[in-house]
Structure 1
Amino acid sequence: MLPALRLLPSLALALGLGTALSLPPAALRAQGVTTTTRAPQDDPALLVADDLQITPDRRLIASGNVEALYEGRRLRARQIIYDHETETLTIEGPITLQDGEYTTVLADQARLDRDLQNGILTGARIIMDDQLQLAAVQANQVEGRYTQLYKAAVTSCRTCNTDEAPLWQFRARRVIHDKEERQIYLDGAQFRVFDVPVMYLPRLRLPDPTLERATGFLIPSIESSTQRGTGVKVPYFFKLGDHRDLTLTPYIATKTTTLEWRYRQAFTKGEIEFEGAFSNDDFGTERSNRHYLFGQGKFELPRDFELNFDIELVNDESYLVDYGYSNKDRLDSEISIHRARRDEWVSAALTHFRSLRSGEENTTLPTIAGNLDYERRIFPTRLGGELRFSGGLHSHYRSSDSILDGTDYDIWADGRDVTRLTGSADWLRTWTLFGGIRSTVQTGLALDSTYVNDAGATSASSDTQLTPSASVALRWPLAKTTRGGVTHVIEPVAQFGWVGGSNSDLPNDESTRVEFDEGNLLSMSRFPETDRRERGFIGAYGLSWSRLNPKGLETRLSFGQVWREKDLTESDGSSTFSASSGQRGSTSDMLVAAHVATQNGLSLTARGLFDSGFDTTKAEVRTAWDNAKTGLSATYIWLGSDLAEDRPNTISEWAFDASYRMSRHWTGHAEWRYDVASDESVEGGLGVTYTNECVDITLKASRRFTSSTILTPSTDFSLTVGLRGFATRTSDANYARTCRK
């Protein structure tokens, strides 16, 4: 702002004295004079004026479209007079000073000292970052750092005439702007809405728009909930240096007293972030103390390794949902180290799980799991192709010691603990055959050694197997480009393979959820882990078609199916694959996937599995439409009942999320989840936001309809009002109001 008036600190003096001593006054009485000089710091400076002269009393007068440039600052004025005797500058307006990229100063007149560090401006108006405006009858420049404004107004709202009151403003007896600290201090301030005083503040400190982080209050919000009652949140931000900060948010409502917090810190080679809350509430029959802690971090280690961790802790199963902190119903805390290179992957991780779901016992769920994985690729010159080596060590632990089966849907002991060692070596090579057919040959050998503690009577306690495998995959990409630039690509694919060995009667602990999609159509095993492998002769075929139009519609369509020698079964004769996996029997269900996208932002993705009668096994549809005014997404999921996947009932659910910009300043929001199978809503919400150049106002209403032994339905309302222009640079000017001509 006005500290920018350190413009040409010695330029006027250099012009006044140097030119006056070397030339007679008449020599400078010329039109269209341009003078270039250098300040004592040897930085180039430029002064341009219609007329430049020196009077007999040794005063330098530049008049008529005067423009001075120095160190990225630009000053425009009607006239500049430098008095050598008093060493002062008198500037006649209108004055416009542009200080760098973010500050503009307007004034009627100015009187400053020779170094432009001290002085007075009258009729001053300061515009910061094209947002915040400070106006005063008089502004004093002090030490080149402080600007003092008296009887000042501060606002970021646009007004079209001097008689119009802004939407909001601060009126203060005195306003001080500290350029170095980038802070604005107000003494005797009133907060006014449409020029009506609504609040008096003896002292107030605000960051200017160029400051990204500053200690102080953040935007408060008012909330109302059927569970928590009506209350207010007032966040306060603490800047603890350049690399740390803390945010405390007291939340006081009729049924709860809560303190929310967040801590962040950046290091030379890493960063951490923790957040949590402490609550004392009376949602039930008596008051209780509840709290949660979430944290995450990552660090760069020597030799390209990276350390990651996350912590998720809560002392009450319904706390996260009751306060809207998270919808997670299974928490995981993990610490891991990994390294990824072009031909190598190394990873080690230790994870703790906790279920918040009603009816799930954490004692019989794997609560601690450890994983160690290594993969390496080698490209032998003589042999050709690629060699892949991998190894892994996995172990998971249950706190239960029971060797009996409980009430879940498997047949294994509830207290089993599993440790598995896996290693494999594979060779693969690709050739291009006649007609452009791509052929890939792969062969390999895998070792799986598994030990089960507390296995029970229905399971062996250990097993070791060697599994050889071989396969041939064929792809035939066919492409055509039309005269209009549209490209069509058709690619039939096929795979023939064999996997030796047989699955043991060890518990199926990790491969209970099998997914079948385009990504694993040509895989030798669709199981997610190696405690189960597909065995015997296996075949797969598929067909994909893509239409790519750089100026219009983009379409992809894929089909695929898997054939195997026989169905895989467990020791009790049941199929290893679940009913909804689409993999039971010797022939899998048909996979159908499609994707459509248009240039106007509309996209549709669908995927489904269909049995021989073309009945749906599972299906999902996702659609989205994004443009300048509309943001719409919808998802539909259908999953049939499957006891093997702990799903006794069919899941059929719609989810919608939409936003629509109704006008220049108004945007509506809506979301809704609907359970088609049970014919009832799960949750829904509506909201509206008003935004202009100086204010954000958001009103939201949401409803959770579901209930359980730990959850009750609830309705929440919230109102948030934010003043724009303080430490919030706004790049989107589409919301700014305009003045009619």
Structure 2
Amino acid sequence: MADMRLVLRHLLFIACAIVWTGYAHAQAQPDVPPDEPAPAVLVADDIEVTRDRRLVARGNVEAFQGTTRLSAQAIEYNPDTGALTITGPIVLDDGAGIVILASQAELSQDLQDGLLTGARLVLNDQLQLASVQMNRVGGRYTQLYKTAVTSCRICENDPSPPLWQIRAKRVVHDREARQLYFDGAQLRIRNTPILYLPRLRLPDPTLDRATGFLIPEIRSNSRLGTGLRVPYFIKIGDHRDLTLTPYVTGDTRTLEFRYRQAFKRGRIIIQGAYSDDDLQPDDTRGYLFAAGEFALNRGFVLEFDLESVSDDAYLNDYGFFGKDRLDSTIQLSRTRRDEFIRLSYINFKSLRDDEDDDLLPSDVVDALYERRFHPSVIGGEIRLSAEAHAHERQSNVNFDADGDGVVDGRDVLRFNVEAGWLRTFQFGGLQMQTELGIAGDVIRVSDDATFDDGDSGLAPKAGITLRYPLVKRGDNGVRQFIEPIAQFAWTGGDGLDVPNDESTRVEFDEGNLLSLSRFPAPDRRERGWAFAYGGTWARLDPDGWSASLTVAQVLRQDAQPDFNDTSGLSGTASDFLLAGQLEFDGGLAVSGRTLFNDSFDVSKAEVRGDWSNASLDISGSYIWISEDPAIELPSPIGEFTFDGSYKIDRFWTASANWRYDLEEGRAATAGAGIAYSNECVRVGLSVNRSFADSTTLEPSTSLGLTVSLRGFSVNTGDRVETRSCGKQAK
């Protein structure tokens, strides 16, 4: 009986020791106190106690505790020395991304110290470290001697070396800091040494953020020369970091930077660059962008986006952004179910060589308040809104200096209030939507000798919209929808005698077809009677394709003088709006929209298409706008864009992009790239050409080469193709 108690005591001790490893902290279970390890389970084909009191477990030995699992062929415990002798093959998996494989092991009873031979350490199913001998020290450090490190798949029957590997005399893995330290590291490509480093530190793939170098890039630019970009990431804390990226060529010395910080109720990001180059040898160049968002009390949100650049050509020369206008914004807003508040300030700066910042409304202040109610007495919904807007030009010239109808220094201040009642009635299949309201406008103009100080007025309005949706269901599961629409609208009052500073670009589409005013800003409104009519047809096929088509037109009593020709709304009869969409189950989708008159003269047209499947991802667009001197468009605009990628096989992907100016008869931008990616490496080569030619922008060609060794970063979750050993991987 005493021997039986002794066996059980040793068995329980061994089970706890096996699972209490330095590679897995004991996790508190819901019904287990946090300071005690979770219950352990030991399973083996045979367990015995020898005459010298040694406990031996043989045959398919497995120990479990929480997510930790240890398997071996045999385990022997010596109570005199407290040592464990483990016979392999040994597999120790902590369930948190760290796996140890070995053939033999001599470990302490708590598995914190000891020696493993023929050992291999696998981190996060990505990086494997094979060594002749492995030592564990204090449960935190693992030392590997004569080590080969790689994330490439190694086949047992394939004698060829991996695509890349790091050979080192010694590698130390710090489990707590999650870092790898190399002594005498040698980077090899197909077993050919190409780089030697006496000391090297790299994060293991289980670490989210660590100070160190990121993926370098070789970049060649026809204007800046060829150089190397080497980002260096600095972890300042758990919620802050800084990335510094030097970029040096024969023609430029540039330092890029990015600072990020997360707060309890918000975040900020600051990025920029500082350059000393030969393009402007007498000037230092750079840019600074800052953005942030903070949640304030009472549901308010503060957002800001600040943008500044040293000169108009800097962003284009270095390929940072495709902006030709900068907009610095600070905004305070609150959104609730029945209320919206916004207060914003915007500063514009143009990078176009044909625009003068002093003549643009560069400073804009806007305040908006909207509220809605649902009265039970009259039903429907009541909407109230109030807006204050001001924009200012830096110029003080109060007359038309250029003779183009625009006063150089004009400043505008306006106030707009609106009240409206909306309600929907249902008469069988007929739906009627009613809207009654009134708007008040006050506009003040300064630094403009061609207009008085401003004007004000009231605009009562009313509208009735009728819809009659019809549905047809076929025997084969096809469903078709037809919905005719008609709207009668009226807006009273006289138009204000103020300049058109905000509603110069008017769009006519499905979104504003039933609006009582289609101007983008309330500095002017449609007046008089108007009748909008049209219809929508849609078809849904169970085979996986669908189609829709919308046709509409607006008729009015009086022409609106502020609608330009390309808006499609000029005259008493608007252009016809035709919009459609077609989608197929195979990933192809095409949509288009056009405006044309009764003579089939087109003022605007656009077509967009996408095709996506397992191997192909293509998108393209075509846009055409006719000439319109009223909006400073002396000649038509036509443009075709293309962007796509093709997966050649499991590892190779080709991509291309192209933007072509149809009116100029030349490309604006073009680019192509090819990338190879597998489980252990990603190589990308790209070339981009900009054909811009102006006083501030010149054509340029850029080449980029990036090489990334997988295994030293966190798994992003993207699918990575793994090479197979003799058989095709699925």
Q: Deviations over 1:396-452 (max 9, x none)?
A: 01110001113374x242101100001010011110013x11101111010100101
2-side partners of 1:377 and 1:15: how far apart?
75
Task: Determine the structure 2 residue equivalent to 1:525.
Answer: 517
1-side partners of 2:218 and 2:33: how far apart?
58
Aligned length: 705
Query: How big is the alpha-carbon RMSD for the aligned residues of Structure 1 and Structure 2?
Result: 1.8
Return the match for 1:181 from 166, 177, 181: 177
3-state SS of 2:286 partner: strand
**Equivalent residues of 2:7, 2:49 under 8 A apart:** no
2-side partners of 1:12 and 1:366: how far apart?
89
Return the match for 1:727 from 696, 706, 713: 713
Task: Determine the structure 2 residue equivalent to 1:425.
Answer: 419
**Equivalent residues of 2:14, 2:77 under 8 A apart:** no
2-side partners of 1:19 and 1:420: how far apart?
82
**Equivalent residues of 1:107, 1:123 under 8 A apart:** yes
Q: Deviations over 1:490-518 (max 9, x none)?
A: 11111001100121221100000000000
Structure 1 residues not aligned, in runs of 5+ = 1-10, 21-36, 570-575
Task: Determine the structure 1 residue equivalent to 2:475.
Answer: 483
Q: Deviations over 1:470-505 (max 9, x none)?
A: 111111111122233332111111100110012122
3-state SS of 1:735 partner: coil
3-state SS of 1:445 partner: strand
Answering whether residue 691 of structure 2 is matched by residue 695 of structure 1, we say no
Answering whether residue 129 of structure 2 is matched by residue 134 of structure 1, we say yes
Answering whether residue 441 of structure 2 is matched by residue 455 of structure 1, we say no
Task: Determine the structure 1 residue equivalent to 2:39.
Answer: 44
Return the match for 2:593 from 604, 607, 627: 607
2-side partners of 1:273 and 1:613: how far apart?
53
Task: Determine the structure 2 residue equivalent to 1:117.
Answer: 112
**Equivalent residues of 1:701, 1:715 under 8 A apart:** yes
Cα 1:17–1:256 change in 2 (3 A) is closer
Return the match for 1:440 from 424, 428, 433: 433
Answering whether residue 237 of structure 2 is matched by residue 241 of structure 1, we say yes
The one-letter code sitting in structure 1 at the alignment partner of 2:172 is I
Task: Determine the structure 2 residue equivalent to 1:629.
Answer: 615
**Equivalent residues of 1:336, 1:350 under 8 A apart:** yes
1-side partners of 2:488 and 2:359: how far apart?
40
Residues 287-366 of structure 1: pairs in structure 2 closer than 5 A: 287-366=282-361
**Equivalent residues of 1:625, 1:631 under 8 A apart:** yes
**Equivalent residues of 1:664, 1:734 under 8 A apart:** no
Task: Determine the structure 2 residue equivalent to 1:30.
Answer: none
**Equivalent residues of 2:454, 2:497 under 8 A apart:** no
Residues 473-512 of structure 1: pairs in structure 2 closer than 5 A: 473-512=465-504
Residues 648-687 of structure 1: pairs in structure 2 closer than 5 A: 648-687=634-673
Answering whether residue 70 of structure 2 is matched by residue 78 of structure 1, we say no
Return the match for 1:712 from 698, 701, 713: 698
Return the match for 2:200 from 195, 198, 204: 204
**Equivalent residues of 1:294, 1:313 under 8 A apart:** yes
Answering whether residue 397 of structure 2 is matched by residue 402 of structure 1, we say yes
3-state SS of 1:580 partner: helix
TM-score (normalised: structure 1)? 0.93
Answering whether residue 221 of structure 2 is matched by residue 225 of structure 1, we say yes
Cα 1:164–1:479 change in 2 (3 A) is same
Answering whether residue 245 of structure 2 is matched by residue 252 of structure 1, we say no
Residues 533-544 of structure 1: pairs in structure 2 closer than 5 A: 533-544=525-536
Q: Deviations over 1:127-164 (max 9, x none)?
A: 11211011100111111111000111111011223632
Cα 1:355–1:17 change in 2 (3 A) is closer
The one-letter code sitting in structure 1 at the alignment partner of 2:171 is V
Q: Offset of 1:42 from its aligned partner?
A: 5.1
Return the match for 1:470 from 448, 459, 462: 462
The one-letter code sitting in structure 1 at the alignment partner of 2:166 is F
2-side partners of 1:661 and 1:38: how far apart?
53
Cα 1:19–1:397 change in 2 (3 A) is closer
Q: Deviations over 1:249-303 (max 9, x none)?
A: 000011100000101000001000111000111125x343111011111000111
Structure 2 residues not aligned, in runs of 5+ = 1-5, 16-31
Cα 1:12–1:485 change in 2 (3 A) is farther
Greater Cα shift, 394-403 or 646-655: 646-655
Q: Offset of 1:19 from its aligned partner?
A: 10
2-side partners of 1:393 and 1:206: how far apart?
56
Answering whether residue 111 of structure 2 is matched by residue 95 of structure 1, we say no
Q: Percent identity?
A: 51
2-side partners of 1:647 and 1:244: how far apart?
48
3-state SS of 1:321 partner: helix
Q: Offset of 1:464 from its aligned partner?
A: 1.0
**Equivalent residues of 1:693, 1:733 under 8 A apart:** no
Q: Offset of 1:101 from its aligned partner?
A: 3.9
TM-score (normalised: structure 2)? 0.94
The one-letter code sitting in structure 2 at the alignment partner of 1:451 is R
Residues 529-608 of structure 1: pairs in structure 2 closer than 5 A: 529-569=521-561, 576-608=562-594
2-side partners of 1:266 and 1:711: how far apart?
37
1-side partners of 2:716 and 2:648: how far apart?
20
Cα 1:452–1:366 change in 2 (3 A) is same
Q: Offset of 1:304 from its aligned partner?
A: 0.9
**Equivalent residues of 2:503, 2:519 under 8 A apart:** yes
**Equivalent residues of 1:16, 1:82 under 8 A apart:** no
**Equivalent residues of 2:265, 2:294 under 8 A apart:** yes
2-side partners of 1:386 and 1:201: how far apart?
72
1-side partners of 2:33 and 2:106: how far apart?
23
Greater Cα shift, 196-205 or 243-252: 196-205
**Equivalent residues of 1:118, 1:142 under 8 A apart:** yes
Task: Determine the structure 2 residue equivalent to 1:31.
Answer: none
1-side partners of 2:162 and 2:452: how far apart?
79
Answering whether residue 54 of structure 2 is matched by residue 68 of structure 1, we say no
Answering whether residue 377 of structure 2 is matched by residue 385 of structure 1, we say no
1-side partners of 2:46 and 2:660: how far apart?
76
**Equivalent residues of 1:16, 1:54 under 8 A apart:** no
**Equivalent residues of 1:622, 1:636 under 8 A apart:** yes
2-side partners of 1:408 and 1:219: how far apart?
55
The one-letter code sitting in structure 2 at the alignment partner of 1:158 is R
**Equivalent residues of 1:430, 1:441 under 8 A apart:** yes
**Equivalent residues of 1:620, 1:638 under 8 A apart:** yes
**Equivalent residues of 1:12, 1:82 under 8 A apart:** no
Cα 1:609–1:90 change in 2 (3 A) is same
Greater Cα shift, 127-136 or 475-484: 475-484
Task: Determine the structure 2 residue equivalent to 1:33.
Answer: none
**Equivalent residues of 1:282, 1:288 under 8 A apart:** no
Greater Cα shift, 480-489 or 348-357: 480-489
Task: Determine the structure 2 residue equivalent to 1:164.
Answer: 160
Q: Offset of 1:468 from its aligned partner?
A: 0.4
Q: Offset of 1:38 from its aligned partner?
A: 13
1-side partners of 2:593 and 2:9: how far apart?
77
Return the match for 1:191 from 187, 194, 197: 187
The one-letter code sitting in structure 1 at the alignment partner of 2:205 is P
